[in-house]
Amino acid sequence: MNGTADMLKEDADFFSPNGKTVLLVEDDGTIAEEIAAELTARGFKVLHEATGDAGLEAALRLEADVMVVDRLLPGLDGLSVIETMRQQGIRLPALVLSALSAVDDRVTGLKAGGDDYLTKPFAIEELVARIEVLLRRPDDTRSTKLHLGPIDMDLIERRVWRDGREIELLPREFRLLEYLMRRPGQVLTRSMLLEDVWQYRFIPRTNLVDVHIGKLRRKIDGPGEEPLIESIRGTGFRLRVPD
């Protein structure tokens, strides 16, 4: 394909007509060329990296709108790239490409923080459609600040306030509160919290969640303040949506 190398090269002076940038992390040159050609023809800007380490660096450094990442990459694999992004507060929507098509493989990809999973070989039209769906999602999933009732959270500075009172949280407590704030009113089981906040791939017999919830409650609920985290007997916990 003529000019493919130019399409894959970062060009700071290029702006796509639709204003959207796709970060493509794919080590197969042929597949990368085909994807880049199609997306460029549709008005996207395409930034290409061929290794997981380079892809992660680009995700942390650049302001892309969506990532398309191969699962099996040289160096850091695609799921590790996504997990590291999420741990650092990067909410860039990620579409995982993989030749692994079993249900367990897809579930693993989504639990790692991927937003969608597409198995190879795929139709280029389906890939484009899935990218467009991710781009139509509400912007608040990628916001650097969260607000719920009296609680404000800054994901970049890693700071939390309740009604203007700053709350000092440990890293795990911060991630736990962020997880709750992104799912207000939703009952969250202990298994969900262990898998998504602690990244456990098995569910041990432990009171770890209850201990951390207790510590978090004592920090966010000051004297005379209304408790925000509810215990759902026999199930888990829920962050109340203030009236």
Q: Which pLDDT tens digit goes with each residue over 54-106?
A: 999 999 888 789 999 999 999 999 999 999 988 877 888 999 999 888 878 88
pLDDT of residue 9: 36
Q: Is the pLDDT of residue 10 over 70?
A: no
| Cα 151-178-79 angle, rounded to 5 deg | 160
Query: How many Cβ atoms are within 10 Å of 177's Cβ, its own excluded?
Result: 25
CATH number for the domain that contains residue 52: 3.40.50.2300
How far is Cα 210 from Cα 193, in angstroms, rounded to an integer? Answer: 10
pLDDT of residue 91: 82
Closest CA to 35 of 132, 125, 98: 125
Beta strands 188-189 and 236-239: pairing type? Answer: antiparallel
Is residue 185 within 8 A of residue 229, CB to CB? The reply is no
Please report which confidence band the pLDDT of residue 4 belongs to, taking 50, 70 and 90 as the band edges.
very low
Please say which residue of 103, 136, 169 terminates a domain: 136
Q: Please name the helix (run of DSSP H) or strand (run of DSSP E) that holds residue 115, with its range, or none.
A: none
When pLDDT is averaged across residues 21-37 and rounded to a whole number, the result is 95
Structure tokens at 3: 């000019």
* DSSP per position, 154-187: ETTTTEEEETTEEE---HHHHHHHHHHHTSTT--
Is residue 117 within 8 A of residue 108, CB to CB? The reply is no
Same domain, 178 and 132: no
Share the mean pLDDT of the chain.
85
Which segments of 45-180 are extended strands (E)?
A: 45-49, 66-70, 94-98, 116-119, 145-148, 151-154, 159-162, 165-167
DSSP3 helix / strand / coil % (the chain, rounded to 5): 40, 20, 40
Q: Is the pLDDT of residue 26 over 70?
A: yes
- Pick from 43-47, 54-58, 113-117: least confident: 113-117
- Pick from 6-20, 33-47, 178-192, 226-240: least confident: 6-20
CATH number for the domain that contains residue 197: 1.10.10.10
pLDDT of residue 111: 84
Same domain, 164 and 191: yes
- The DSSP call for residue 141 is G
Same domain, 147 and 124: no
Same domain, 112 and 36: yes
Closest CA to 237 of 174, 181, 160: 181
Give the domain range for residue 49: 21-136
Is residue 196 within 8 A of residue 179, CB to CB? The reply is yes
Q: Please name the helix (run of DSSP H) or strand (run of DSSP E) that holds residue 59, with its range, or none.
A: helix 52-61
Please say which residue of 136, 157, 173 terminates a domain: 136
Please say which residue of 86, 110, 136 terminates a domain: 136
Please report which confidence band the pLDDT of residue 217 belongs to, taking 50, 70 and 90 as the band edges.
very high
pLDDT of residue 3: 37
